[in-house]
Structures are given as C-alpha cells and as structure tokens.
Structure 1
Amino acid sequence: MDSLHFKQQGLINPKLTSICDICLQRGEDAEQFANNTVQTFATTLLYSFVGKDGDDKQDPSFFVKKKQSRKFYEGFLQDYDGNSLAQQQLDRKEFNQAIIKSETGVVDFVPNPGLDFNTNLQKLGLQVDFQLNEVDYIDRERIRAKYKYRCQYCGRSGRSVDHKDPVSLSHNNDFDNLILSCSECNRIKSNMPFKLFTELNDQIPEINKQLVKYENTLRSLQEEFEQRRRKIAATMHLKGVVQDPELNAMRKQNKKLQDAIDSLQSDYDSLRKVRENHFVNGWKVAELEKEEDII
C-alpha cells in the first residue's frame, strides 16, 4: 500500500500510524497494533509513530483472512490512488467506506483484478464519470482541418483531437484547449500537463523529424507493395495460372520489398519506444521533484 495510507498530519512533523486509514475509519485503534516497518520509517524520518512497540509478528490476525483477497483489495486501492479522475469525483472516505462494506460482507463483492476499475467501482455502488470528453463531431473535424491532419507534437499524420489541459483535470472542452495529435502522442501524453509534455517534446526535435521520415517512407513502400500485390493477382487472373516464371519473379521482387519494409518498421518501432521512454521518465522525474519527503 502507498505510504499515504499510514501518514497523517502532526503538530510539527507528520505522524505515521501502525494501521492504514481504512482500518482507522473502521474504528480500530492504532495504538493497539505493532508495525515494525512503519515504525522504522518514523524513527528514521523523525516522525511521530502511533502504534504499539514490539514484534508485529505477534499480531498475526488479519481482518481480511484470505491472502488472495488482501491482494485484490490492495490492487483496487492502487487503481484509485493512481487515478486523478476518480479522486476528483469520489472522496477518499467514501471510497474507503465502500471497501469496508465489502470487507464486512455488507456488500457481497470483492474487487476482481479480472475486471476493469470502473466495473469494480460500480459493483461496490460507486459512480465515476470517465467520459468527460464532450467535443462533438463538427468541432473535431474543424480541429483536423485547422491543423491539416498533422500531429502538432511530432509532425506525423494524426486524427486524435487532444486536450492541451487534460479533460480529466480541467473539464475544459473549449476550442482553444483543443489541438490535433497522432494516436501515439495522445496516448503518451495522457494526463501529463501540457507545459511539461511540450517541454519534453522540444528536447527531441531530431527524433520527431526522423519519425516523420520513417512514416513517409513506410507509407510509400507499403503503397508500392500493395500495387505489386494487385498486379500479381491481375496477372494470375489473366493467365489463368498460379505458377509461371513471370509470376515467380514478381513474387520474389515483392518478397524483397516486404523484407525491406519489415526491417524499416523494426527500426521505426525502436525509435518510437525510445521517444516514449523519454516522456515516461521525464514525467516520473517531474513528479518526484514535487515530493517533499520519501514517505
């Protein structure tokens, strides 16, 4: 579980509790439980520790008896902790209360990792609107025409209408908050702040130029491959045969072209992965720099 579940504000420094916020909300007393790990952190960071001294192995009982179920709840908690859209619409105490009802059997359902996050929420009686993008078809086409179907981040062809300020954070569907991107940039950007994404993107102009060249070359080669494939099919139809020297020569040439396309595609995919890692790592560094302490 994330450290935030054990961390509370103190008079001077934060204090750490031996049990999580869900157990506290359930009415359990932190002073009655030992937790060596949390206590060690508290001592190291000069935080107050609320809990019982001693070996936490002497407290073997769990409220949720099955280890597998505990993992299911932990995964569900991580989904909520990492979803800003859910946190905006669903207060943590309300979320915790739904988990308590599940753990106590008031609600006959345990979060299932085989289901998506929204389905698990609904089965626990919680509602979150994950469809905040209300840009209509006409406005989408206006954006595509405005930017001539070119991604404004990398320069490749694109049709994805992207929100500069993520709609999950701003709920802003105004025209000036919309820009055109390719599906890949849209996916990578996700909920990343527009300013950070553009700053990271400005650091790799040559990579973006290479991606455009790869895309254009691959499109040209693939079109040529399809033309050759259609010519082979037409020749087979006119001759009424499947095998003959002319057809075999045409197939051999097309096989070489396909090999060239596959090799180029592999290089293209490798460069795309390098670029994606650049954004992922840059976002992680930016988030870490915001943290004031290590727990």
Structure 2
Amino acid sequence: MNPKLTSICDICLQRGRKAEDFPNQTVEIFAKALLYSFVGKDGKDNNLNFLVATKQKRKEYESFIQDYDGNELAEQQLKRADFNTAVIASEDGTINFLPSQNLDFSENLKNMGLDVNFQLNEVDFIDRERVRAKYHYRCQYCGRRGHSVDHKDPVSLSHNNDFDNLILSCSECNRIKSNMPFKLFKHLNDQIPNINKKLVKYENTLSTLKEEFEQKRRELAAKAHLKGVVNDPELNAIRKQNKKLQDAIDSLQSDYGALRKLRENYFTTEWKLNQENKRNDII
C-alpha cells in the first residue's frame, strides 16, 4: 500500500474539503523525496486564503493542536475526530472561544467543551508516606535519596494507582523514566550498575563536603563577630581553607553533573531507538 500525503490537514479533510483542490508545495516536495503519493493540486501556493484570518489566531490553534498531539492522557480519552470537531466549531464561531497560549491545556479543553481527566495519577498523602517508608527514602532505580512516588507502569498507560504499582524514586529518575514502560526502564537501568553506584558516591561525598563547608562558614562568621574585625590572620586562614573546600565541591559537582547528563542521554537514546524500532514507516 503506497502511503499518501495530502495538501490539507485532517481538520480540513473532516470539514469535507477535498485535498485535490488545494496546492501545497512543501508537502508535495516532501512526498516526492519519500517516494510517497501526493494528493493535492499542482501549482504554487503563494496566494492562499486562510480559513483562520490572522496569523496570531492561527498560532493559538496550532499550539492547542500540538498540546493535544503531545499528551497521551488526552489522546487516550478524547478521539481525534471529536477533538477536530471542537476545533472546527471554534473556528466557525459555533463555540465562542479561541484557544489561548496563556491558558493551560486543560483550561482550553474545558472552554472548548471537551472533558479529559488529568488526575488519573492522584495518590493520597498516606499512601505516598507508606511508599517512602517502605523504601527508606531511597530511589529504587539509582540508589540516591528519593522522595518521588513513581508509578511502575505509567499512569497514562495503566491508570493504576494501586500500592503494588507504586515505587520510590529520586526526582531525576522519575523525570527520565516519564512514560517509559517499567520493564524497559528497569532493563536499561540494570545495564549500568557501576554508573548508579558512582552517582550514590558523588551524592554522599558532595553532601559531606557541603555540610563541612557550611559548618566552617558558620564558624568563620561567629569568630569574626567575636573578634569584631574583618582582617585577621586566624580568619584569613579559615577563609583559605573554605576556598579550597569550595573549589573541591565545584570540581566534584561538575563531574557529577556530567555523569548525570551522560546517564540521561543513555536512557533517552535507548527509549527513542525502542520507539523507532516499532514504527513501520518514517512518518
């Protein structure tokens, strides 16, 4: 089956417009490059009459549509055809509301008469504390200190808030994992045990050094207050010690940040490759 690209979007197609009546040089060139069929009118598209008159309004609709395309919870609960119907009604004035980039996606949906439940991942305070106590405030992925209660199977996929589906993670692992399936994230994480151990050592060492630095800083402030002077041999010696300690912290922090970034790139790349491997075409 030969894939086709149309000169107009799915919203205009849903309106009943015919792709054959409209030129679109960009899509036509793209289709030729991919050896796809192009459904549209031949010719230049310099003098287009936009359905939405102003550029600013078109930007508002474009941003709203992109929000829908990038939100799995919305896509699962709201059919594309129903979403398009609401956009069409807004464009035609049947719905007296224009999506705004200044409003949250949920507010725009509500004002468009669309219902999406964004609270599927609600876990009450007691259950969160139970999870934290169960895992002793340690991230179950990397081993660092953690307070983020994470869904093993992403709530956008499972809608499962049961205690067995909850695990503790640090905010960094929670963010990196995002909607990645638990089995895949765990498999990738199991490939880098030494990296995770290094992260724990970095965190512990930095915590110790920062605590020591703060203690010396307070000691310096107290002695300066008691002496009533700023320039003093004893105080200057403490300042030099603090400067060396701060340099060590900065150097270690830089190495720690580089390793964290490397680890994040590893997960991001593997996740993208996993998704790409499942696609049947390049569109």
TM over 0.5: yes
1:118 corresponding residue in structure 2? 106
Tell me, in whole angstroms, the C-alpha distance in 1 between the residues paired with 2:135 and 2:225: 43
Matched AA of 1:18: S
**What is the 5 A alignment of 1:62-211?**
62-211=50-199
TM-score, length basis structure 1: 0.87
Distance 1:187 1:82 in 2: 16
Q: In structure 2, what is the equivalent of residue 281 of structure 1?
A: 269
1:220 aligns with 2:208: yes
Secondary structure of 1:179's counterpart equals strand
Distance across 2 between alignment mates of 1:45 and 1:242: 72
1:259: Cα distance to partner? 1.8
Deviation at 1:285, TM superposition (A): 1.0
Could you tell me which amino acid in structure 2 is paired with residue 286 of structure 1?
Answer: N
Listed as ranges, the matches of 1:26-45 within 5 Å are 26-39=15-28
1:20 aligns to 2:9 (yes or no):
yes
1:167 offset after TM fit, Å?
Answer: 1.1
CA distance in 2, matches of 1:239, 1:43: 81
Q: Percent identity?
A: 71
Give the one of 208, 225, 248 matched to 1:260.
248
TM-score, normalization by structure 2? 0.90
Task: Give SS of 1:249's match.
Answer: helix
Distance 1:46 1:260 in 2: 57
> Relative to 1, partners in 2 of residues 1:242 and 1:128: Cα closer, same or farther, differing over 3 Å?
farther
Distance apart, 1:59 and its partner CA: 5.6
Alignment check: 8 A CA contact 1:33 1:56 kept:
no
**Map of 1:51 onto structure 2:** 40
AA in 1 matched with 2:12: C
AA aligned to 1:152 is: Q
Q: Deviations over 1:242-295 (max 9, x none)?
A: 442212221221122112111211111111111111111111111111111122
Listed as ranges, the gaps of 5+ residues in structure 1 are 1-11
Contact persistence 2:25–2:45 (CA under 8 A): no
Please provide the CA RMSD for this pair.
2.2
Q: Please, which moves more after superposition, 181-190 or 264-273? A: 264-273
Moved more, 21-30 or 36-45: 36-45
Q: Which runs of 5+ in 2 are unaligned?
A: none
Q: Find the aligned partners of 1:64 and 1:199 in 2 and give their Cα distance.
A: 48
| Mapped partners of 2:31, 2:255: distance in 1 | 49
Match of 1:238 among 194, 214, 226: 226
- SS of the equivalent of 1:180 reads strand
The 8 Å contact of residues 160 and 186 in structure 1, kept in 2 or not, is answered as yes
TM-fit CA distance, 1:116: 3.2
Alpha-carbon distance in 1 for matches of 2:6, 2:201: 56
- Letter of the aligned partner of 1:277 in structure 2? N
* Count of residue pairs the alignment pairs up: 283
**Aligned partner letter, 1:25:** Q
User: Structure 1: how far apart are the matches of 2:74 and 2:149?
Assistant: 23
